[in-house]
Structure formats: structure tokens, C-alpha cells
Amino acid sequence: MNEAPDPALRIVQTDYDHAKGVAYNLVLLVWRRRTMPDAYRAAMVLATEHARKHPKGIGVMQLVEVDAVPPDAEARKAFTEFMKWPGVAHFSVTHEGSGFKAASVRAIVMGVTALSRPSFPHAVHNSVSEAANWAASQNRNIGAVSDARAIERAVQSLRRLHQQDYPPVP
């Protein structure tokens, strides 16, 4: 049974590798397979547009699925640029996997963060729920939507819709 999409979610783009959307003051990205530099650049344009609607700042929430491939050098460069983007008030990456691959994903994120030295709060999370709670607390600081459950619903809705549009290959 397909659930209805979260009404707060506006889907901006989906393709085989990722889904991009906005909800509240948040730009949401779900990376399911490859992390593509052009998709990051499009997300930066989206962030600029979304920041115009939310002058106190936006949050960026990325979910890297367990079967996603680590980003190549060009994608890491785009990720570094995004970590310096104007209008971003907070930024997080979530990877729910465990083991060596999960540790490598988190290490890549921490390395990029160290290189980019963002001027805003940033975090790496182990679950969407944890990330939503963190985003809600950051949003309280800028007077934006701080309902963690609503934020989590929007992220999970984007994730679910992408999985429906691009089912796993057997």
C-alpha cells in the first residue's frame, strides 16, 4: 500500500541516483546510489532559491542510503562548495548503515567538513530520527519549524517516494 506523500514536501527532482525536495525551511536530499556532482550543483541552486523564501536561513538534510556508492573527487568538491553556501544555517548528513562502509561514509563527510570549515552548525547522524531532532533544535535557533516528527515525516516521505519510483534492482 502506498502512503500519501507528506503535504509539507515538495519534490523537486528524482532520478535513479537521488531525490531532492524541500519542506519547511529545509532542502532534503536522498542519495540512493551514486552521488553526482551535477545533482549537488542543482541542490545549491535550489538552496539559493529556498533561502530567498526563508531569510533567517535554511537547513540542508542529506540521507545517504546504505547501498549508495561513496562520492568521487568531483562530487566531494561539490559537497565542499555546498558546505560554504550562503543562506545555509545548518547542515547534516545521515547514514543509517553500520560496519566498515558506514564508517567510511562518515569519515568522508567529516573530512569534507574539516576541509570546508563551514560557518554554520553541521552534524553526521546514524538515523533519520536523530537528524530530525537535531534539525528541529537548530531550527528553534532561527525561528523556523521545530517539530522533529514533522521533519522526519518529510524526509521519510521523500525516501519512500524515491524507492517507489526506482525500486531496488534484484
Q: Which residue is associated with the grid cell 551535477?
A: 38
Q: What is the pTM of this model?
A: 0.90
CB 120 within 8 A of CB 89: yes
105 burial (CB, 10 Å; 0-12 / 13-18 / 19+) is: buried
pLDDT in tens, 129-142: 999 999 999 999 99
- CA pair distance 117, 115, nearest whole angstrom: 6
Beta bridge partners of 62: 29, 93
Averaged pLDDT for residues 7-36: 95
Task: Look at 54 and 83; give whichever has higher pLDDT.
Answer: 54
